[in-house]
Amino acid sequence: LAKTTQPISMDSYEGQEVNITCSHNNIATNDYITWYQQFPSQGPRFIIQGYKTKVTNEVASLFIPADRKSSTLSLPRVSLSDTAVYYCLVGDLYNNNDMRFGAGTRLTVKP
C-alpha cells in the first residue's frame, strides 16, 4: 500500500484558493489518487479522484505530475463551510478493497 503524507494543518481565509499537497512516493501503477472531506462526527465524503494530469469537478481540481509521486488538491475560493479534514488516499477499489486513511489535513477557513 502506498503511504501518504500530508500537512497536518492549514489555515486560509474566505475567498482564497487553497492547495493541499499529498506525497505518495510508492504509488503503484494501478493506483488512483482520491481525496475525501470529513466534517466533525460525519462520515468522510468523496471529493475527487484522478490517475494522472489534471481533473476538475464542480468542487475541486486535482493536479497530478507525470511521476505521480505527489498530488495537489485545489479548492477555489474557500468559504467557512470548507473547514474540515481532508484526506488523500491512494489505491484502486476496482481491484482490491483495502481503503485506508492516513493522517489528514485539518483546514481552517477564517472570515
Partner 1 sequence: AAGVIQSPRHLIKEKRETATLKCYPIPRHDTVYWYQQGPGQDPQFLISFYEKMQSDKGSIPDRFSAQQFSDYHSELNMSSLELGDSALYFCASSPRDRVRRTEAFFGQGTRLTVV
Q: Are 36 and 86 in contact (CB under 8 A)?
A: yes
Least Å distance between CB 72 and partner 1?
17
**What is the C-alpha to C-alpha distance for residues 63 and 72, in angstroms, rounded to an integer?**
5
Decide whether 21 or 38 has the Cβ nearer to partner 1. 38
Decide whether 3 or 77 has the Cβ nearer to partner 1. 3
DSSP string, the chain: ----B--SEEEEETT--EEEEEE-TT--TT-EEEEEEE-TTS--EEEEEESSEEEE-SS-EEEE-TT-SEEEEEESS--GGG-EEEEEEEE-TTT---------EEEEEE-
Decide whether 45 or 77 has the Cβ nearer to partner 1. 45
Least Å distance between CB 95 and partner 1?
8
Positions that interact with partner 1 (CB under 8 A): 32-34, 38, 41-46, 49, 85, 87, 89, 91-94, 96-104
Decide whether 88 or 109 has the Cβ nearer to partner 1. 88
Least Å distance between CB 25 and partner 1?
19
Least Å distance between CB 37 and partner 1?
11
